[in-house]
Structure 1
Amino acid sequence: MAKVAPPKSPGKWWSTKRYILAGLAVVLAVVAVVSVFSIVLSPGEIHFSIISQASNSDPDGRHPLIELNLTLAANNTSHRTGVRYRSFLVYYLQYAASSTEKVKYSTPAKVIRAPPISQQPPLSTAEVEVSASLSMDEPAMSGGRRSNNNNIISVLLVSVVQFKAGPAYWLPYQVRVQCNPIDSLFSGSLATPINCTS
């Protein structure tokens, strides 16, 4: 008479199933952790540029003055994170002669209109208005016109920002960018924005 094999133990079958489910849970947890770290390590990006400027010059006197007003654009290109500006400093840099290797003057600019204090939403642009009076060396200006390229001016922007996604905040970090040289005597909106890079 043939022997009948005993039925498999239900306890052993359920134990195997639990191992499989536990393994899947571990895999999902690892994927979630990797995803979180990838987001944390790559916060949003902000691109700065100069979009318009206005200048008022006073050519009289030994060292003519020019009041230079600029409008900067802060473009938050992130699809998921907002940004909060904890500080925002702008400096006008004047270089010696026609070289950008040596800064002759560094003038702090007054921030007339600052970026949003609370939060700049994702995929949005905030405008910042700054102004400062600069002393222009002769003969760079004569009768309100530039007679040579003796005064090269660029903008240095230093800001401490903090990105936010949902309820979570990233640690604050410093953004430091410098804009390409500008024509200090031009007034109006720029057809092509002047880019600022780190």
Structure 2
Amino acid sequence: MTTPLEVVPWMSRWSTKQYILAALLGMLAMVAVVAAISISLAPAHVALFVRDANITHANKTSQDGKQVLRFWYYNLTLVANNTSHRTAVSYGSLAVEIWRSETEWVPTEEVNTSAVLPGWLPPGNTSLVKFGVEGGQSNQETAPVKAQPPSSSTPAQGASGNAAVGNDSNAAAAGGVPKWPDCRVVVEAKVWFRFAGVPTLPYTVRVSCFPVNFLDGTTGPVNCTG
């Protein structure tokens, strides 16, 4: 005589560890849903500003020792303010362009964001990042001829052009000091936000800061808008 098989409900086959694991996965799913809803209802925001724009100079002797070359450098400080009340932010990259006209721009030197903006920055955090780039050079013995400034004083926000690093065509005769209208600073940042321990997908933030006058020295913050 064949003994009938006993049917055991599948739920009873679970161990205690499996029940705990299932409960934890359910809690994580609920946290992710709550975080997504909270971020969508109150989206995170990063405010960017430019301040302390200025020009510095350095003299270098040519390789043949017959000329003294005067270099000038653009310098600025980028202020990144996490204005969110509950969301942390992490920066993956920061790129800054200085537009001197509608078609002429220079990229600043790269910064190590993992060093200057490490980890997750808490809500309300304000961080300062310094950028700089060589703007050009002039011969102290034979100063460049003064040229007319660009026709437009408001460089295009997203115009396409080649990076021009070298002799500034608008250098003045006295001391090789560059002359141009107000510049536009374009900032592109890759950021992540995190709420309740759950990070979002990366966002690309691209904003424009105008007017920034390096020659006169823009000390006050210039708001960047996207």
Query: Does the 8 Å contact 1:58/1:144 carry over to 2?
Result: no
Name the counterpart of 1:141. 172
Distance 1:112 1:92 in 2: 19
Map of 2:56 onto structure 1: 56
Following superposition, the deviation at residue 87 of structure 1 comes to: 1.1
Distance in 2 of aligned mates of 1:53 and 1:147: 14
Partner of 2:124: 123
Aligned to 1:26: none
> Alpha-carbon deviations, 1:148-185, whole Å to 9, x = none?
64x54221111110001121111111000111132222
1:19-98 aligned within 5 A = 36-40=36-40, 42-57=42-57, 65-95=71-101
Secondary structure of the structure 1 residue equivalent to 2:221: strand
**Residues 121, 48 of structure 1: alpha-carbon distance in 2 compared, 3 angstrom cutoff:** same
Contiguous gaps of at least 5 residues in structure 1:
1-32, 96-101
CA RMSD between the two structures: 3.2
Distance in 1, Cα, partners of 2:89 & 2:35: 20
CA distance in 1, matches of 2:58, 2:174: 9
* Preserved contact between residue 81 and residue 164 of structure 1 (Cα < 8 Å): yes
Letter in 2 for 1:122: P
Counterparts of 1:169 and 1:34 in 2: how far apart (Å)?
Answer: 13
1:194 alignment partner AA: V
Distance 1:36 1:171 in 2: 11
Count, aligned residues = 156
Please list every run of at least 4 consecutive aligned residues from structure 1 whose deviation after the TM superposition is greater than 4 angstroms. 33-36, 58-61, 112-115, 144-148
**Superposed, which structure 2 residues align to 1:98-113 within 5 Å?**
102-111=102-111
TM-score w.r.t. the length of structure 1 is 0.65
* AA at the equivalent of 2:117: P
**Which residue of 2 is the match for residue 20 of structure 1?**
none
Larger radius of gyration: 1
Confirm or deny: 8 A CA contact 1:49 1:193 kept in the other structure: yes
Structure 2: any 5+ residue segments left out of the alignment?
1-32, 61-66, 137-166
Larger relative strand fraction: 1
State the shift of 1:111 in Å: 2.6
Name the % identity. 30
Aligned residues of 1:48 and 1:74 also touching (Cα < 8 A): yes
Q: Secondary structure of 2:84's match?
A: coil
